[in-house]
């Protein structure tokens, strides 16, 4: 790689894409305060009205202690039951007959406590109990509970409630071995009377709470994902979505965990409203959804499933179609990196991890693999750099001869490159190669849950930034910590710039001359808050690049042979390409215009 004008263009393009990406991902953090207040006030008003109406119309009595509807005959109190398997422990409540909380037994949060999902969530739908009176199901204390064990160790719990009109509602939950999802069947006996217009209007509210080191970054990674019409989609910066096609599933997604509601038949319609928290609490986001499904027959079963688990590609793929896309391997402007992640980086990473226990070394060997694959292209770049170095004395002579005549120098430089068979764009290749690779790895390391909690050297968690010092203040765009891997990445980038400057023709333009030094400084602010796996990769990649350059330039490439080859090519008749001809014509025109301006000034 060399730092001629075209290389600088490559660096500028890379830096611009960096800033564009981080501006895009942070944009969604703004303009939420006004929406939050308006949305919360509206929800509070609707709920208060519904609760008051239900209490007045309900022929059953209100238990003041529990604050929920109970049976007139039997006094029922709220109680909790548990089902668990190898990976989760599920807490159920008879209040609403639903999941109250799920504990993931294989994952811990930033407090070193087991991760809990689904707390403070609520599932609700209205039922008709006769005489034009309605109850909200989450106000009901289900009086009957049955726990059984099914085939292959599947554990089941059933809640049953019978209305005053003699119609029965059953909530049946099944938890299979080694599964994160909980199958939920709603059995309705007398749907023509229990449901208005045979429609189940399900309301699902769920909250996400901090699990990682910093809630700010985890909020940024949070979003709403869903499958509409059999196609994956998501909302991040928007705060609402009205579904126009049947919905297969919808989920509140954190950086590494997901809470998702799935319908085996699909919801006919619905909408979601969500917000990221903007306070200093450990709350991340809130999802409020309304989903409708048509129920056929007098007695019917609505088959649903609840997933509380990790954003693991293989696990999510087994849940529902398109659900593995919750793992962000590249979206929107950066969707072009998804195939790189899915078909190259992920399989290679998993293959290496099958032999290497420490994930820091897995990242190192992944870096070696990437450098080997791209080595043919980088070799051609280094060869171009070697030719540039051989031509540097001649370019310096031309520069000395023409002085400040930039247009004349450009024309002579182009002529010299053509005679010598040098590709002036060759030095851009390494910088341009880093663009898709960097963004692919950024998505991959940010969403790869196998890196979560994995320590390496001084880093305690490869999925988060490493820190060797905490500052007593926060620097905008930098943070309140110092990442050693970031410093190493910046230093190695700076060394690469120093090395390449020695092989570059003299640059009198200050912007071009100092850009190679500015770029590492920019990286300092971009990288300091990124996962240490990514900054470790960048450091290793820079070291390999430096070693490759030294070996190729000092050992493999014969500069005398290159010079001899250039002399042979100079003697060979050459035909100008259309681009070269047009470029030289443009330079000649500009030179004449400049000469005319100079003459006019005199």
Q: d(Cα 379, Cα 553) in Å, to the nearest integer?
A: 10
Quote the pTM value. 0.76
Which is more confidently placed, 596 or 195?
195
Nearest-10 Cα torsion for 101, 106, 108, 113: 60
- Per-residue pLDDT, 598: 65
HSE-CB at 594 with a 13 A cutoff on CA atoms is: 11
Which pLDDT value is given to residue 510? 56
Three-state secondary structure call for residue 253: strand
Burial 530-542 (b: 16+ CB within 10 A, else e): bbbbbbbbbbbbb
- Rounded-to-integer distance, Cα 473 and Cα 464, Å: 20
Instruction: Determine the pLDDT at residue 144.
Output: 85
Residue range 300-315: mean pLDDT, rounded: 94
Q: What is the pLDDT of residue 429?
A: 63
The whole-angstrom separation of Cα 282 and Cα 211 is: 9
Highest mean pLDDT among 60-74, 112-126, 239-253, 566-580: 239-253
3 pLDDT exceeds 50?
A: no
CB neighbourhood size of 329 (10 A): 23
Nearest partner of 424 among 390, 381, 393, 395, judged by Cα:
381
DSSP letters for 429-491: HHHHHHHHHHHHHHHHHHH-GGGTT--BTTBS-TTS---SEEEEEEETTTEEEE-HHHHHHHH
The per-residue pLDDT of the chain, averaged, comes to: 79
Beta-carbon-side half-sphere exposure of residue 343 (alpha carbons within 13 Å):
5
Residue 134's pLDDT band, with cuts at 50, 70 and 90, is: confident
Which one is predicted more confidently, 69 or 332? 332
Domain 31-325, what fold? Beta-galactosidase; Chain A, domain 5 (2.70.98)
Return the ∠ at Cα 328 (arms to 324 and 330), rounded to 5°. 115
DSSP secondary structure letter of residue 20: H
- Read off the pLDDT band of 179 (50, 70, 90): very high
pLDDT tier, 536 (very low <50, low <70, confident <90, very high otherwise): very high
Contact 254, 211 (CB under 8 A): yes
- Give the pLDDT mean for 474-491: 87
Whether the predicted pLDDT of 60 surpasses 80? no
Residue 253 C-alpha from the chain's centroid: 10
588, pLDDT greater than 60 = yes
Quote the crossing angle between the two packed helices 484-501 and 510-527, to the nearest 10°.
160
3-state secondary structure at position 397: helix
Predicted local confidence at residue 9, as pLDDT? 57
* Pairwise pLDDT comparison (413 vs 117), residue with the higher score: 117
Cβ atoms 57, 69 nearer than 8 A? no
pLDDT digits (tens, 9 = 90+) for 262-281: 998 899 999 999 888 877 77
Query: ∠ at Cα 446 (344, 535), nearest 5°?
Result: 85
- Nearest to 222, CA basis, from 25, 463, 22, 23: 25
pLDDT for the residue numbered 332: 82
Higher pLDDT: 377 or 531? It is 531
d(CA 127, CA 145): 20
CA angle, 153 then 158 then 162, to 5°? 165
Compute the C-alpha angle 283/248/440, nearest 5°. Answer: 65
**Between these two residues, 521 and 568, which has the higher pLDDT value?**
521
Name the residue ranges covered by the structural domains of the chain.
5-24+338-404+423-552, 31-325
């Amino acid at each position: 790689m060399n730092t001629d004008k075209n290389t600088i263009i490559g660096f500028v393009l890379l830096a611009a894409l960096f800033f564009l990406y981080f501006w895009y991902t942070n944009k969604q953090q703004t303009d939420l305060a006004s929406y939050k207040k308006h949305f919360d006030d509206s929800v509070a008003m609707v709920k208060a009205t519904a609760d008051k109406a239900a209490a007045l119309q309900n022929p059953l009595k209100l238990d003041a202690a529990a604050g929920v509807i109970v049976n007139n005959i039997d006094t029922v109190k709220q109680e909790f039951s548990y089902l668990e398997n190898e990976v989760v422990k599920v807490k159920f409540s008879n209040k609403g007959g639903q999941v109250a909380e799920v504990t993931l037994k294989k994952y811990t949060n930033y407090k070193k406590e087991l991760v809990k999902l689904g707390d403070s969530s609520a599932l609700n739908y209205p039922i008709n109990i006769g005489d034009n009176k309605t109850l909200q199901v989450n106000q009901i204390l289900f009086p009957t509970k049955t726990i059984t064990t099914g085939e292959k160790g599947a554990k089941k719990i059933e809640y049953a409630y019978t209305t005053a009109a003699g119609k029965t509602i059953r909530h049946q939950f099944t938890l299979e071995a080694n599964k994160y999802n909980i199958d939920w069947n709603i059995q309705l006996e007398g749907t023509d009377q229990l449901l208005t217009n045979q429609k189940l209007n399900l309301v699902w509210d769920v909250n996400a709470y901090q699990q990682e080191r910093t809630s700010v970054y985890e909020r940024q990674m949070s979003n709403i994902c869903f499958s509409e019409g059999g196609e994956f989609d998501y909302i991040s910066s928007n705060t609402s979505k009205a579904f126009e096609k049947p919905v297969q599933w919808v989920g509140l997604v954190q950086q590494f965990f997901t809470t998702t509601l799935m319908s085996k038949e699909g919801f006919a319609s619905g909408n979601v409203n969500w917000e990221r928290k903007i306070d200093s609490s450990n709350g991340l986001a809130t999802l409020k959804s309304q989903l409708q499904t048509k129920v056929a027959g007098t007695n019917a079963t609505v088959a649903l499933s609840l997933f509380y688990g990790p954003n693991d590609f293989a696990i999510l793929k087994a849940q529902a179609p398109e659900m593995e896309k919750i793992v962000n391997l590249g979206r929107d402007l950066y969707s072009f990196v998804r195939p790189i992640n899915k078909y190259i980086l992920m399989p290679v990473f998993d293959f290496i991890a099958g032999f290497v226990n420490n994930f820091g070394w897995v990242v190192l060997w992944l870096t070696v693999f990437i450098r080997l694959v791209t080595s043919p292209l980088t070799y051609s770049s280094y060869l171009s750099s070697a030719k540039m170095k051989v031509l540097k004395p001649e370019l310096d002579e031309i520069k000395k001869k023409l002085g400040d005549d930039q247009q004349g120098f450009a024309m002579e430089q182009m002529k010299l490159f053509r005679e010598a068979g040098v590709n002036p764009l060759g030095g851009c290749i390494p910088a341009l190669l880093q663009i898709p690779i960097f963004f692919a790895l950024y998505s991959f390391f940010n969403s790869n849950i196998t890196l979560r909690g994995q320590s390496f050297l001084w880093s305690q968690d490869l999925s988060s930034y490493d820190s060797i010092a905490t500052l007593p203040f926060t620097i905008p765009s930098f943070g309140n910590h110092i990442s050693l891997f970031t410093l190493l990445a910046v230093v190695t980038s700076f060394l690469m710039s120093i090395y390449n400057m020695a092989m570059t023709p003299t640059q009198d333009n200050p912007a071009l001359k100092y850009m190679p030094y500015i770029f590492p400084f920019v990286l300092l602010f971009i990288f300091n808050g990124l996962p240490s796996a990514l900054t470790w990769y960048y450091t290793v990649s820079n070291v390999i690049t430096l070693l490759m350059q030294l070996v190729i330039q000092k050992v493999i490439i014969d500069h005398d042979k290159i010079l001899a080859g250039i002399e042979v090519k100079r003697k060979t008749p050459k035909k100008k390409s259309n681009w070269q001809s047009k470029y030289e014509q443009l330079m000649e025109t500009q030179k004449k215009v400049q000469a005319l301006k100079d003459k006019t000034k005199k």
